[in-house]
Structure 1
Amino acid sequence: MLTVHHLGKSQSERIVWLCEELGIPYELKRYTRDSVTMLAPPDYKALHPIGAAPVVTDGDLVLAESGAIVDYIIAKYGDGRLVLRADHPDFAQFLYWFHFANGTLQAGMGRLMLLNRLKLAHDNPMLVATKARVDRAFDLVDARVREAEYLAGSSFTTADIMIGFSLTTMRYFQPYDLARWPNVVRYLGRVGARPAYRRAMEKGDPGMALLLS
């Protein structure tokens, strides 16, 4: 059986959410971060050489990386759901936003988090440039969800699942005020109201406040 190894407050929430959206059978194993370092515990790091979330196992397979896991689950268990075919008019948008989530937004927020931990001066050129890049990423998301219900258009897809963590739970690690992006807030209201999202978050991180605004 497919097993989702979920590290609390991590990108593996995407995988729990995906499984709930698809309604497929899976086993959920939860792991707690070290209370001091906030890093994964040794038994989680031992799952895969990268030592980070997410990780799934499926029979003898051990697979890491959010995008790879999402693609694997969709290909093996998705039955064509939550993705757009190549002949769909919004296929390119779907591809772009699916990869934008980790390639641009999450990467930028991760860099900003690390720079802030160095306690650099507020006018440090690297800090200023990184913050501006993350702001531009939020600007792009805000513009997209102003004109479309979901990132790929009218259909909810894995692109929305991929970006959800960066817009919400990632802000526990890198706080970000969304007041400048009202369309993002409205979008989070839409995706955050989905029953599968609510089930996933309650199963994976019970009691955690959801940063949907």
Structure 2
Amino acid sequence: MLTVHHLGKSQSERIVWLCEELEIPYELKCYARDPVTMLAPADYKALHPIGTAPVITDGQLVLAESGAVVEYILAKYGNGRLTLKPSDPDFAQFLYWFHFANGTLQAQMGRSMILNRLNLAADNPMLVATKARVDRSFDLIEARVGGARYLAGDEFTTADIMIGFSLTTMRYFLPYDLGRRPNIRDYLGRIAARPAYQRAMQKGDPGMALLLT
């Protein structure tokens, strides 16, 4: 059986959410972060050589990396759902935002998080440049969801699942004010209204306040 190994407050929430959207059978195993270091416990790190979330097992398969896991589950269990065909007018948008989520936004937020922990001066050139890149990414998302219901257009897809973590739970690690982002707040409201999202967050991170505004 497909097993999702979910590390609390991590990118593996995407995989729990995906399984709930597809309504496929899966086993969920939850792991708590170390309360002092906030890192994954040893038994989670032992699942895959990379030692980070997400990780799934499916029979003898052990697979990590969000994009790879999402594409694997879609290919094996999705039956064409939550993706767009090349003939769809919004196919290129779907591809762009699916890869933007981890290739650009999450990477930038991760770098910014690390730099913030170094106690650099506020005018440090690297810190300023990294923050500016994060802001530009949020500008881009703000514009996109101001003109489209979901990232790929009118249809909810895995592009939305991929970006959801960065816009919400990641802000526990890198606080980011959405006060000037009304379109993103409205978009997150649409996400939060989805029953599958609600089930996923309740199963994976019960009791965690969801950063939706």
Whether TM exceeds 0.5 here: the answer is: yes
- Provide the residue aligned with 2:179 in structure 1: 179
| Structure 2 residue matching 1:134: 3-state secondary structure | helix
Q: Which amino acid aligns with 2:156?
A: F
| Within-5 A mapping of 1:1-213 | 1-213=1-213
* Alpha-carbon offset, residue 181 of structure 1: 1.1
Q: Which amino acid aligns with 1:66?
A: S
Q: Distance in 1 between matches of 2:123 and 2:188?
A: 31
Cα deviation code 1:52-72 (max 9, x no counterpart):
000000000000000000000
Q: Distance in 1 between matches of 2:26 and 2:202?
A: 16
Q: Distance in 2 between matches of 1:64 and 1:192?
A: 26
Cα deviation code 1:166-212 (max 9, x no counterpart):
00000000000011111000000001110000000000000000000
RMSD of aligned residue pairs (Cα, Å)? 0.3
Q: Distance in 1 between matches of 2:90 and 2:98?
A: 12
Q: Distance in 1 between matches of 2:147 and 2:173?
A: 29
Q: Distance in 1 between matches of 2:209 and 2:202?
A: 10
Name segments (4+ residues, structure 1) moved above 4 Å. none
Q: Distance in 2 between matches of 1:69 and 1:211?
A: 24
Structure 2 length normalisation: TM-score? 1.00
Q: Distance in 2 between matches of 1:85 and 1:119?
A: 46
Cα deviation code 1:71-120 (max 9, x no counterpart):
00000000000000011000000000000000111000000000000010
Q: Distance in 1 between matches of 2:191 and 2:10?
A: 18
Q: Which amino acid aligns with 2:103?
A: G
Q: Distance in 1 between matches of 2:125 and 2:75?
A: 43
Q: Which amino acid aligns with 2:113?
A: M
* Alpha-carbon offset, residue 31 of structure 1: 0.1
Structure 2: any 5+ residue segments left out of the alignment?
none
Q: Distance in 1 between matches of 2:115 and 2:180?
A: 22
Q: Distance in 2 between matches of 1:145 and 1:52?
A: 30
What is the aligned-residue identity percentage?
81
Structure 1: any 5+ residue segments left out of the alignment?
none
Q: Size of the alignment, in residue pairs?
A: 213
Q: Distance in 1 between matches of 2:211 and 2:192?
A: 9
